[in-house]
């Protein structure tokens, strides 16, 4: 039996849709995949509330997605919200708007649930070509999830570190067009390193054989490393890079000016002002994992980028009973 399902992932920076057919064996056929930058998490770290303009952008995108879902004759819809709404006092306004548009509740998942869904989505394809254990890193706008496992999740941890949060905390430039200052970078790095220290007490980073990166920051860094003139999902998905190549591209993006970033054809306009912070986070993660693996007598040789992520995991999970907590 085949089910036609829709998965929506509403994060701090973007809202994404996947419409797919899934059979009883878990095989997934992608019918439509979309992404809009809505910045739902605008100012949440500072105010504790969803900004009215951010709410309207997000609900407008949800209306567009509702039309696409109806056109595909979808039978099941799952709308998952992550970091921004976990932290917002006025999230009920968001919940009500989504229910009015789609007729389904918003499922606010924990960092742990987010990590498991990301792992499920990413490893469904990466495991066919790369050895485990896998450390899957889903680097979002408000949080970053780290999950270690091979056939299943063995350890996971969610850090309140992401491209939007780190931009708002540390990297808002005095000169709008200038790269972050050295002081801003050092403060941001200290924040990320403290978060990684805490994560390492839960997730044994030194057991990583294949590091898998997900989401917009990682795919953008990969596009830079591949020298793409325009974003090419087929070339980015499954791309394998060495650690030096990843770090070189992260450094280039972190040190670039706003006009230089705007001229990068592979960079989505909605990521121009947050990619520096995202690149900093990704560089710190890659360096830390490589160092821990080396200290354990190994070598991190493969950093893989996957376009299959939490959306795929949400869609696949629809073949099982729905998780509790829908609002």
Res. 324 pLDDT band, cuts 50 70 90:
very low
195-210 per-position pLDDT tens digit: 999 999 999 999 999 9
Distance CA 131, CA 32 (A): 29
- Mean pLDDT for 153-170 is 88
pLDDT at 325: 39
pLDDT at 26: 67
Residue 323 pLDDT exceeds 90: no
- Mean pLDDT for 257-278 is 91
9-38 per-position pLDDT tens digit: 998 888 999 999 987 766 788 899 998 989
pLDDT at 83: 65
139 vs 28, which has greater pLDDT?
A: 139
For residue 310, whether the previous peptide bond is cis, meaning omega lies within 30 degrees of 0, is no
pTM value is 0.77
242-261 per-position pLDDT tens digit: 999 999 999 999 999 999 99
Distance CA 137, CA 139 (A): 6
Residue 276 pLDDT exceeds 60: yes
pLDDT at 123: 85
CA 327, distance to chain mean position in Å, is 22
Evaluate whether 68 touches 19 at the Cβ level (below 8 Å): yes
288-317 per-position pLDDT tens digit: 999 999 999 999 988 999 988 888 888 888
Residue 322 pLDDT exceeds 90: no
pLDDT at 125: 79
- The chain-wide mean pLDDT, for the chain, equals 89
Distance CA 107, CA 271 (A): 25
pLDDT at 287: 96
Distance CA 92, CA 156 (A): 28
110-137 per-position pLDDT tens digit: 777 877 887 888 887 788 889 989 999 9
Residue 321 pLDDT exceeds 50: no
214-243 per-position pLDDT tens digit: 988 999 999 999 999 999 989 999 999 999
pLDDT at 82: 76
For the chain, the residue count is: 327
- Mean pLDDT for 75-80 is 92
CB-neighbour burial class of residue 176 (10 A; exposed 0-12, middle 13-18, buried 19+): exposed
Res. 46 pLDDT band, cuts 50 70 90:
confident
pLDDT at 11: 85
What residue ranges define each of the domains in the chain, with the CATH number in brackets? 2-111+313-317 (3.30.420.40), 121-305 (3.30.420.150)
pLDDT at 173: 63
Distance CA 215, CA 118 (A): 10
In 140-268, which ranges are continuous DSSP H helix? 163-166, 182-200, 216-225, 233-236, 243-254, 258-262
Give, for 134, the enclosing helix (H) or strand (E): strand 134-139
Residue 81 pLDDT exceeds 80: yes
Res. 174 pLDDT band, cuts 50 70 90:
low
40 vs 284, which has greater pLDDT?
A: 284
């Amino acid at each position: 039996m085949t089910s036609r399902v829709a998965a929506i992932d509403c994060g701090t920076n973007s809202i994404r849709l996947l419409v797919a057919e899934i059979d009883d064996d878990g095989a997934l056929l992608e019918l439509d995949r979309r992404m809009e930058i809505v910045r739902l998490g605008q100012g949440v770290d500072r105010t504790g509330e969803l900004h009215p303009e951010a709410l309207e952008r997000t609900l407008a995108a949800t209306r567009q997605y509702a039309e696409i879902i109806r056109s595909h004759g979808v039978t099941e819809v799952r709308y998952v919200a992550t970091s921004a709404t976990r932290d917002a006092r006025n999230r009920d306004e968001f919940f009500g708007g989504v229910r009015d548009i789609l007729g389904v509740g918003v499922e606010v998942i924990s960092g742990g649930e987010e990590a498991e869904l990301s792992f499920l989505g990413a490893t469904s394809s990466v495991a066919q070509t790369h050895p485990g254990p896998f450390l899957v890193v889903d680097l979002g706008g408000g949080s970053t999830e780290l999950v270690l496992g091979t056939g299943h999740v063995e350890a996971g941890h969610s850090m309140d570190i992401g491209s939007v949060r780190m931009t708002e905390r540390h990297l808002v430039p005095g000169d709008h067009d200038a790269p972050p200052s050295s002081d801003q970078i050092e403060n941001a790095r200290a924040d990320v390193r403290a978060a990684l220290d805490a994560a390492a007490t839960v997730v044994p980073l030194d057991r990583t054989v294949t590091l898998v990166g997900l989401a917009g920051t990682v795919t953008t860094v990969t596009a830079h490393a591949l020298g793409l003139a325009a974003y090419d999902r087929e070339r980015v998905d499954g791309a394998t890079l060495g650690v030096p190549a990843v770090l070189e591209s992260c450094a280039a993006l972190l040190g670039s000016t706003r006009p230089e970033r705007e001229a990068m054809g592979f960079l989505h306009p909605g990521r121009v002002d947050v990619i520096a912070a995202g690149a900093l986070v990704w560089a710190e993660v890659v360096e830390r994992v490589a160092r821990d693996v080396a200290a354990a007598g190994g070598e991190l040789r493969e950093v893989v980028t996957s376009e299959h992520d939490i959306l795929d995991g949400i869609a696949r999970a629809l073949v099982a009973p729905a998780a509790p907590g829908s609002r």
